[in-house]
Amino acid sequence: MSFFESIIIAIIEGVTEFLPISSTGHMIIASSALGIAKDDFTKLFEITIQLGAILSVVVLYWKRFFAANRLGFYIKLVVAVIPALVLGAVFSKKIDALLESPLTVAITMLLGGIVLLFVDSLFRQPKVDKEEQISYGKAFVIGIWQCLAMIPGTSRSAASIIGGMQQQLTRRLAAEFSFFLAVPTMAAATGYKLLKAYKETPQLLTDKHNLMLLAVGNIVAFLVAVLAIRFFIGYLQKHGFRLFGWYRIIVGATLLVLVLTGYLS
């Protein structure tokens, strides 16, 4: 992987991580197009630069993350992340196999786009507009919804936001809770991937060039994610999900044609 390729993938991660369009799916397609998808370091890079993206959430919501008397907030995040930790551990090998499939991304992008076209009309009467009103039960259900994102192309953001809206959260609160939930979820996924790489392929983490790529990738992902979050919250409140739905349908259909015709392997 070159520095140019690392910056391209990091920009994609920063833009797409918190939008309901699947960051993993976009990175799989980008790395496939660049011809580096099969490389072990590329797979590690695509996971570990999520640290930079989640740091943007902590920075933007600093006061809400570290305010006094936040024990209940942290417990809710722990409760919500449990399903992903359990299913991720059980199905880790199958998930890794799916991460190499542009066809899976194309199908889930397309189907997810269709769902987003109707989300706003399905959940029109939210009752929960404050973080304190999110019960532990609601947090757990949102965590179950998040597990759908283990299928590449689904979008962790989309799954958890829709889960929040299904639990009667407002669009803004559902999006913000999704951002908060990303921190323990992605930190755990990244930590697991790094530990696995350290045990199985330590040379990937001791190579100076690779370490520089990871540093650059995380910095770029952080900066871009800050801008993406600010845009998304404002846009979502005013316009909803339809634009993202049509985007996913167009991209998914295009990818499906490219995969089926052999232009994208």
Tokens of 209: 């060039």
Report the alpha-carbon angle 83-231-65, nearest 5: 50
> pLDDT tier at 225 (50, 70, 90 boundaries)?
very high
pLDDT tens-digit profile of 170-214?
Answer: 999 999 999 999 999 888 888 888 888 888 888 888 889 999 999
DSSP-derived secondary structure letter, 69: S
Residue 141 has pLDDT above 70, yes or no: yes
Q: What are the angstrom distances between the C-alpha of 182 and each of 141, 174, 206?
A: 15, 12, 28
- What's the mean pLDDT in 141-160? 90
Q: What's the rounded Cα separation, in Å, for the pair 87 and 160?
A: 15
Q: What's the rounded Cα separation, in Å, for the pair 213 and 7?
A: 8
What is this structure's pTM? 0.87
- What's the mean pLDDT in 140-158? 90
pLDDT tens-digit profile of 69-123?
Answer: 788 889 999 999 999 988 877 776 776 666 667 888 889 999 999 999 999 888 8
Region of residue 56 (phi > 0: left; psi between -120 and 50: alpha; otherwise: beta): alpha
Instruction: Name which of 9, 1, 91 is nearest 46 in CA terms.
Output: 9
